[in-house]
Structure 1
Amino acid sequence: MSKISEPRHFSHRLRDTNSAFLPARHSSDQPIKVGFVLQPHFSMMAFTAAVDALVTANLVQAAPLFSFTTYGLQSTQVQSDVGIDISANRILGEVMLEGEGALDILIVCGGFRCSLSEYPPLSQLLKAAAKRQKILGGLWNGAVPLAWAGVLDGLGCALHPDNHAFLQEGFARVQVSPHTMLVEARILTSAGPNSALEMMLALIQRLHGADTVRAIREILSSDRIIDDGYRSSSLAENDPTIPDALRTLLRLMSSNIEEPLGIEELADYVDLSRRHIERLFQTHLETTPSRYYLELRITHARRLLLQSSASVSNIAVACGFVSSTHFSHCFKEFFGVSPSQARLKRG
């Protein structure tokens, strides 16, 4: 009887990079239902940043985590702040708070030119949602309708600085936060596009954990080098918290995918002993040099496989595998499917 090998798992530095392509973790949970109320002249950037976080969350897990629906106040045609008409899925009166299809989260999308006057039907809806313990949110100045509904009384909120004076003057029981984002137990508010993304990531982390958020950042933040101390986890060779010698080793590995260097060759380049190198990898990357090198090569192979029309055998050679059979075996151990099956799944 042939031996069945145990599935391989990526170490933490490359796990997030590959999370969207790993075998599904089976769950009986239904996607969390999110509703976005689009006010006339809502901020397109803030809205799309929030939605992008949800869509990407679904991409990094095989089973969808969220579904979302958009609502216009009186019409399904809503004009954004950049003059583009958006077709909302439904109108405000069709929001469901109970029964099958009921929303779990309701977010009001504001913008620089959104009306600050109360819209009673929206206030009534927000009051009803708060009574049913729904999570409520506001983008840009979406906190203003929340304040009109009274759901912010005794709480803090974040909103665009241009609206601070209005809220402070008209709603004495609401504390305006100096921060661009504020995440309370059931109230989420943000002041603009960047903070809208961070607000949604904070919510996703609360609901689905830090691993999911790291995987989302891996996709959405690939062009961010330094921002509030965050650096893309896939670029370990650029991480300033890692010793220079280890970063040099990682760059050497990244530059030598087709013809991998041996551990002794790597040791000669940085003038360190093999044992010292192994300690560096274990301490800072929680893996061994050979294991990290294999994960780096299989990640490169996955990208070539799904983004090019190169043959499996050519990809195997380009990524330093001795044969296409060996490559296919390693690929299946990591991703649960053969290279050809992975290519078919991605269309």
Structure 2
Amino acid sequence: MTNQHRQRTFDSRFKRSNQAYLKESETSSAPAIRIGFVLREHFSMMAFTAAVDAIVTANLLSSTPLYSFRTLSLDGSAIRSDLGIEISVDGALQSQSSSELDMLFVCGGLRCNLQPDRALQDRLRDAAQHGLILGGLWNGSYLLAQAGLMDGYECTVHPESRDGLQETCPRVTLSANPYVIDRERVSCAGASSALSMMLAVIGQHYGNEVVRGIEEILSCDKIGEIPERPMPCTAIDPALPEPLQAVLQLMEANIEEPLGMEELAGLVNLSRRQIERLFHRYIDSTPSKYYLELRITRARRLLLQTNETIAAITVACGFVSTTHFSHCYRDYFGQSPSQARQNRGR
């Protein structure tokens, strides 16, 4: 018999929540994608922060950074946003080497000056020659188009700037979509679409699982048309069959004293086999594995976010003993609960 440690892997839904805490071998080892944001005077703060929020949150889902970013102005001076807040930047676009970036976004806004800027155009053309992916937020694509960098590409722009772009840049294919990705060009029309655009970019880089993980974090308080609806502790896909949603909700509500399969089946008026088929079809897991991962995820949060004893966490998450809890935690995270607590914050 071998004593070799058996490493468990999370099913996709819980892997998103726990990605940053898994062993290095399960996360991305590729170099971080380097992004520059060129801030123009009166740029849309909301569009900019939405784009940055997406990549910063992506980094939170990985034990190694997926992205790095820096802010730039043409000459390195501070830039005033559309909110009247002055923003210090990391450097000057005029001295930024294009070889040190992979993507470059021009951040515009409603009151940005759209008159041709030769110095800006020269730097953007240099970035294009170095093969950077170029993007525009709000009316940033207008400034890219002025440099001839949107010729033959489809792009979008804020409605206030559409007429001017159509008149002055006839070789550009202007779209009415809120965001557009066309080969090496990316654009969005405003603040709300900036997040959607960046999520689509991240999806191309790292896949839909990372995107869904970001959405779970950033959409936790999305309330739609029912402001009184409480936030769920975990995101349950409303597109799932109602009986399956009911089972997931029962699991979530019974973590300290987990319900047995027969109890769950009786409470939702299904057979055990029917529940297993639902999990296999819609979650690609078994009920017992899902339930364990739900509990071990809660245990990880309590372990790293509170000072509760390991014994108390063991009970709160439905494990029969601290030894059982420790074995399960090590199986998933590659370290014991006490080691994880010692390493938190590092």
Report the TM-score range of the alignment, normalised by the length of the smaller protein: over 0.9
- Does the CA contact (< 8 Å) of 1:41 and 1:112 recur in 2? yes
Query: Is 1:318–2:316 an aligned residue pair?
Result: yes
- 1:146-225 matches, within 5 Å, as 146-224=144-222
Match of 1:3 in 2: 3
Match of 2:19 in 1: 19
Q: Which amino acid aligns with 1:66?
A: Y
Give structure 2 stretches of 5+ with no counterpart.
226-231
Match of 1:53 in 2: 54
Give the TM-score of the pair, scaled to structure 2: 0.92
Match of 2:256 in 1: 258
Q: Tell me, in whole angstroms, the C-alpha distance in 1 between the residues paired with 2:332 and 2:179.
A: 38
SS at match of 2:10: coil
Report the Cα offset of residue 320 of structure 1.
0.6
Report the Cα offset of residue 226 of structure 1.
6.8
Report the Cα offset of residue 233 of structure 1.
12
- Does the CA contact (< 8 Å) of 1:41 and 1:80 recur in 2? yes
Give structure 1 stretches of 5+ with no counterpart.
none
Q: Tell me, in whole angstroms, the C-alpha distance in 1 between the residues paired with 2:63 and 2:266.
A: 42
- 1:63-74 matches, within 5 Å, as 63-74=64-75
Match of 2:83 in 1: 82
Q: Tell me, in whole angstroms, the C-alpha distance in 2 between the residues paired with 1:139 and 1:125.
A: 17
Report the Cα offset of residue 243 of structure 1.
2.1
Q: Which amino acid aligns with 1:32?
A: I
SS at match of 2:162: helix
Give % identity.
51
SS at match of 1:33: strand
Report the Cα offset of residue 345 of structure 1.
2.7
Report the Cα offset of residue 138 of structure 1.
0.4
SS at match of 2:104: strand
* TM-align CA RMSD: 2.0
- Does the CA contact (< 8 Å) of 1:332 and 1:338 recur in 2? yes
Q: Tell me, in whole angstroms, the C-alpha distance in 2 between the residues paired with 1:56 and 1:118.
A: 35
| Cα-to-partner distance string for 1:53-78 (whole Å, 9 max, x where unaligned) | 12122221111121111111224311
Query: Is 1:308–2:306 an aligned residue pair?
Result: yes
Match of 1:129 among 116, 127, 130: 127
Give the TM-score of the pair, scaled to structure 1: 0.92
Q: Tell me, in whole angstroms, the C-alpha distance in 2 between the residues paired with 1:18 and 1:218.
A: 12
The more displaced of 153-162 and 214-223 is: 214-223
Q: Tell me, in whole angstroms, the C-alpha distance in 2 between the residues paired with 1:30 and 1:225.
A: 37
Q: Tell me, in whole angstroms, the C-alpha distance in 2 between the residues paired with 1:195 and 1:304.
A: 35
Query: Is 1:145–2:143 an aligned residue pair?
Result: yes
- Does the CA contact (< 8 Å) of 1:118 and 1:145 recur in 2? yes
Q: Which amino acid aligns with 1:29?
A: A
Q: Which amino acid aligns with 1:19?
A: Q
